[in-house]
Structure 1
Amino acid sequence: MNNDHNNLAGEYIEAVHKSFTIVEALAERHTAGVSEVARAVDLPKSTVDIHLQTLEKLGYVVKNEDDSYQLSLRFLEHGGRIRKQTDLYQVARAQVDKLSNKVGEVATIGYEERYQRVLLYRTEPIDGLSDNAPVGQINRMHWTALGKALLSQLSVEEIDEVVETFGLPSATDQTITDRDSLIDEIEHIREQGYSVEDEEHINGIRSVAVPLDIEGENAAISTVGPKHRLTTDRIENELVEALRETTNIIALKYEHY
């Protein structure tokens, strides 16, 4: 069970933590019975049963005919509403769509929240191939071009806090797992103005990202695709320029939104 709550300050409601731990366990498994969830979260079966029944009555989980449970689409409703209320999404979505059509690759918007990368939006061309990350996905910032672009907008002290909080686990053999190497990479990204992910999250996939220069927002946009299409030459001579043009338009529109 996740013990991050031990570091929380102030008032703390244990029952709320248990409910959301159960929700996260269901999200990872799609469907699961009471016993499986209880083992996953290290709670008594009777406790998990009560929480699941409560969540079902509130409409946040669905009970299947085989007595297993799964999350309901209520979460999709809330996520969609939150995203729609985000100014950056409203301003940037159309521009990212245009970017994707122009370069013929998947284009995405990433956002930093609580020192993790949130995938705010993505678009999928018909012939596009990417990591198939779902909208709303939250993951480690050092894994992706989007995440590293977000890290480049943080101070060294903040990056150290990211490393201390989440570590630098590997996703592939190419993942940066050393703090000093990460700092060197971030300094290089700041100098050149863009980040590259070279099979650091998923084998065969490359990505390039450019930070968005918007005051008060730590966000970036990227394009992602198979390594054989996102060559170094194409990144340097086509994609970075296209990304920068898009970020300039987004920043201008955001300023007058």
Structure 2
Amino acid sequence: MSPPDSVNRPVKTTEYSIRILEALKSNPGQSLADLTEEFDIARSTIHRHLLTLEANDLIVRDEDGTFSLGLRLLDFGRRAREYVEFYDVARQQVDRLAEMTGEKVWLIAKEGDHSVHLYKAHGDNPLETSAQVGQRRNLHQLAAGKSILAFLPDDELDAILERRELEERTDSTITSEAVLREELADIRDRGYAFNIGESVTGLNAVGAPIRDEDGYPVGAISISGPAHRVKDSLLNEELPDKLLAALDEIHISLRYGMNG
């Protein structure tokens, strides 16, 4: 079960620093005046946080006096990704799937109520979307994310759906809990999920979960491509077959070891 979004006695100074980092992630190159205007926090307080973050190389000051995220954060993210137990084994299969299918393949991890994009391979598909490594997404908007939701314990699924609004990303995004639950039942039956323009209009995908020894979905892999190409038997038969075969190899490697 994921922890709640808030704590009883949050440390305000830490929250302020996190808010500044989030602001600079969304809109790099902001000045002290910009950040003071954005937050209901005293200018002097913002200034102290900026100086502290800068002194620790978490942000950098540009020549014009504005601030951006520092590359030290890349080291944190890289190390965090290395701690994901299935990352190395799954990454190899992602590369193989991209080579076999020619489509874009994503590896994601479940963290709390969200998915986190860990790794992608392009194949021959040059199509770029807004998805980036490190990005957090709502699970219900993605094929990979829905495949995770489908295999969660009932109590955890109920808790996530209670905490999280089913936000609309495109006109095709599922925003009804009843409709989502019905689809999750179908996903459990067949073992994989579809995304038909639900995260990006004109993009289709199939996704399936990476499950630990207890069957808990710790991550997932998806294969996606333009809807005009990824459709019919390719979407409904060929890609799911290749995806499930790759996941079988991942599960064998994780449970019995590469040399087992």
The answer to whether the superposition gives a TM-score over 0.5 is: yes
Distance across 2 between alignment mates of 1:117 and 1:45:
35
Q: How does 1:236-251 map to 2 (within 5 A)?
A: 236-251=236-251
Q: Deviations over 1:88-134 (max 9, x none)?
A: 11111111100110000011111111110111211122433252411
Match of residue 131 from structure 2: 133
Instruction: Could you list the structure 1 runs, at least 4 aligned residues long, displaced by more than 3 angstroms after superposition.
Output: none
Q: Deviations over 1:40-84 (max 9, x none)?
A: 333222211110111000100000111110001111111111212
Confirm or deny that 1:221 pairs with 2:218: no
Number of paired residues? 252
User: How much is the aligned-residue C-alpha RMSD, in angstroms?
Assistant: 1.7
Quick check: 1:143–1:200 contact (8 Å CA) kept in 2? yes
State the Cα distance separating 1:36 from its structure 2 match: 1.9
Match of residue 168 from structure 1: 166
Distance across 1 between alignment mates of 2:183 and 2:16:
38
Quick check: 1:189–1:195 contact (8 Å CA) kept in 2? yes
Quick check: 1:38–1:44 contact (8 Å CA) kept in 2? yes
Q: Point out where structure 1 has 5 or more consecutive residues left out of the alignment.
A: none
The counterpart of 2:114, out of the listed 113, 116, 120, is 116
Q: Which moved more, 1:157-166 or 1:176-185?
A: 157-166
Match of residue 16 from structure 1: 14
Quick check: 2:143–2:195 contact (8 Å CA) kept in 1? yes
Distance across 1 between alignment mates of 2:247 and 2:16:
41
Q: Point out where structure 2 has 5 or more consecutive residues left out of the alignment.
A: none
Query: Which amino acid letter does the alignment assign opposite residue 34 of structure 1?
Result: L
Question: What's the % identity of the aligned pairs?
Answer: 31
The counterpart of 1:185, out of the listed 183, 186, 193, is 183
State the Cα distance separating 1:38 from its structure 2 match: 2.5
Q: Which moved more, 1:14-23 or 1:124-133?
A: 124-133
The counterpart of 1:35, out of the listed 28, 33, 36, is 33
Quick check: 1:32–1:68 contact (8 Å CA) kept in 2? yes
